[in-house]
Amino acid sequence: MRKLRMRSVLAALAVLAAVPATTARMQLINPPEFSGQVSESDYPVRYIGQSIDLKWTPNAAGKKLSCVLYQLDASQAATFEGSFHFTAGPFEFITHDQVDATEFTWIVGTTKDLSVSPLFSIALWTEGANFTDSASNVFSISEAPKTTSTRTSTTTSSSTSTSTGTSTSTSTSASGSPPQATLATADAAGATGAPSSRETTDPSTTPQVAPASGGGGLSVGASAGIGVGAAAATLFGVGLIWCLWRCRRQQPDVGGLNPPVAELPIYAAQPLPGKAAVYYPPPVAVSREPVVEMDPSSHGRYELSS
């Protein structure tokens, strides 16, 4: 009887000792704790730079905890059971050495190579434990999608748009409804910004473009062009005249000045060794006037006294 009571007391003590250990284990709230295997296509995707509020149940009082990120390959993800051995596989700290913490805001990011494997799991670990307390379902991390703005630009030549508009109005007045084939081709060419590669002309269905009605005067665009051209020509002529006048004004007036007469130097031959220098006078100008001879009969004879 005593042995039976002793066994009952020991069993009760064992149960009481196990209760604190059970309640002390942390459990993930967000993201949810591991709930079982799912197909790879059902893995949630977290984008780099995304903000996630991590939440979990309290740890034992005074115990330090860490939140870590494990990278998994495809085979590890397929056999994952919701717990990690602390030394099994490389991991990254999301936050560590926290006391009495129950939440943390995580900006999604990793130093691991996503080309090797984009699969990860978040786990909670109590300092000194060999296994993690709780782990999340497997998810994938991906680069944030690039935002692109789509702008549709329609480029249509003036001749095409004019022809299309005229054809539509002419066909409507003639038959009451525009030809569907012609409108579809025109719309397709305008939407792609390039002329249609298949373009057929049927004289029986293609409406003739009527000449534009109106007076014989110039259009507004032509009048504006003539006005702009005339103004430009006037400005060009005024500028040219002003440039010619300025250039003529800056030229010096040398009409009344006589050029200076240069003095002729005395030519001297270079003396030879031991010889005196010989100087030559400058050339004498010879008069080109004719020589007039005097008549000897008109003068007497003069003799010089001795």
* Nearest to 65, CA basis, from 89, 34, 31, 100: 100
Q: Work out the mean pLDDT of the chain and round it to a whole number.
A: 72
Q: What pLDDT, in 10s, does the model give residues 151-178?
A: 544 444 444 444 444 444 444 443 444 4
* Nearest to 110, CA basis, from 134, 89, 125, 94: 94
Residues in the chain: 306
Decide if 279 is inside a domain: no
Decide if 16 is inside a domain: no
CA angle 276, 282, 288 (to 5 degrees): 145
Range with lowest mean pLDDT among 110-124, 184-198, 202-216: 184-198
Residue whose entry in the numeric block shows the structure tokens 């569907």:
180
Backbone phi, psi, residue 289, to 5°? -75, 145
Decide if 254 is inside a domain: no
Give the DSSP H or E segment for 126: strand 119-126
Question: DSSP readout, 62-95?
Answer: T-EEEEEEEEE-HHHHHT--S--BTTSS-EEEEE
pLDDT, average across residues 67-92: 87
Q: How many CB atoms lie within 10 A of CB 92?
A: 13
- The whole-angstrom separation of Cα 84 and Cα 70 is 9
Query: 281 preceded by cis ω (within 30°)?
Result: no
Question: 144 in the Ramachandran plot: left (φ > 0), alpha (ψ -120 to 50) or beta?
Answer: beta
Name, in order, each residue with C-beta under 8 angstroms of 30's C-beta and a sequence gap of 6 or more. 52, 53, 54, 55
Decide if 204 is inside a domain: no
- The whole-angstrom separation of Cα 179 and Cα 161 is 16
Name, in order, each residue with C-beta under 8 angstroms of 28's C-beta and a sequence gap of 6 or more. 54, 55, 56, 122, 124, 134, 135, 136
Decide if 58 is inside a domain: yes
Decide if 14 is inside a domain: no
Decide if 75 is inside a domain: yes
- The whole-angstrom separation of Cα 95 and Cα 34 is 20
In this model, does residue 206 exceed pLDDT 70? no
The reported pTM is 0.43
| Residue 220 pLDDT level (bands cut at 50, 70, 90) | confident
Name, in order, each residue with C-beta under 8 angstroms of 220's C-beta and a sequence gap of 6 or more. none
Decide if 8 is inside a domain: no
Pick the residue with more confidence: 283 or 233? Answer: 233
Range with lowest mean pLDDT among 25-39, 84-98, 103-117: 84-98
Name the DSSP class of 153.
Answer: -
Query: Domain total for the chain?
Result: 1
Residue 247's pLDDT is what?
85
Residue 97: give its domain's CATH number: 2.60.40
Specify which residues 105 forms β-bridges with. Answer: 53
Q: What pLDDT, in 10s, does the model give residues 48-60?
A: 999 999 999 999 8
Q: How many CB atoms lie within 10 A of CB 114?
A: 15
Backbone phi, psi, residue 32, to 5°? -60, 155
Query: 3-state SS of the chain: helix, strand, coil percent to 5?
Result: 30, 20, 50
Q: In which domain, by residue range, is 102 found?
A: 26-142
